[in-house]
Amino acid sequence: SANLSQPVFGFLSDKYGIRYFLILGPLVASVFISLLGIAPAYWVILICLFLGNLGVAAIHPPTAAIANLFGGKRKGLANSLVSFGGALGFSFGSIFIIYIIERFGMMYTPLAAIPGLITAAVMVKFAPDIAVSNTSSRKASFFNRLRKVEKPKIVLLAIIIFVSYCREMMNITLLTFMPLYFTGQGIKLMNFGYIFMAFIIIGGIGGLIAGYYSDKIQKRTVVVQVLLSFSIPLVFTIFLVPLNISIVFFILAGFFTISTLPLCTRLAQDIFPENVSLASSFSIGAAAGSAALTFILVGKIADIVGMITVIKYITIFPLTACLLLFFFPFVKAKSSIIAAKE
Tens of pLDDT, residues 232-271: 999 988 888 998 999 999 999 988 988 888 888 888 888 8
For residue 139, name the pLDDT band (cuts at 50, 70, 90).
Answer: low
- Domain assignment present for residue 224? The answer is yes
Lowest mean per-residue pLDDT among 140-144, 198-202, 333-337: 140-144
Structural domain includes residue 1: no
Interval 30-46 mean pLDDT: 87
Does residue 134 fall inside a structural domain?
A: no
**Secondary structure, 3-state, the chain:** CCCCCHHHHHHHHHHHCCHHHHHHHHHHHHHHHHHHHHCCCHHHHHHHHHHHHHHHHHHHHHHHHHHHHHCCCCHHHHHHHHHHHHHHHHHHHHHHHHHHHHHHCHHHHHHHHHHHHHHHHHHHHHCCCCCCCCHHHHHCCHHHHHHHCCHHHHHHHHHHHHHHHHHHHHHHHHHHHHHHHHHHCCCCHHHHHHHHHHHHHHHHHHHHHHHHHHCCCCCHHHHHHHHHHHHHHHHHCCCCCCHHHHHHHHHHHHHHHHCHHHHHHHHHHHHCCCCHHHHHHHHHHHHHHHHHHHHHHHHHHHHHHCHHHHHHHCCHHHHHHHHHHHHHHHHHHHHHHHHHHC
CATH number reported for the structural domain that contains residue 181 in this entry = 1.20.1250.20
Name the pTM for this structure: 0.80
- Domain of 243? 6-123+147-341
Query: Does residue 211 belong to any structural domain of this protein?
Result: yes
The total number of structural domains that make up the chain: 1
Q: Which residue has the higher pLDDT, 94 or 262?
A: 262
Which of the residue ranges 193-202, 306-315, 329-338 has the most confident prediction, judged by mean pLDDT?
A: 306-315
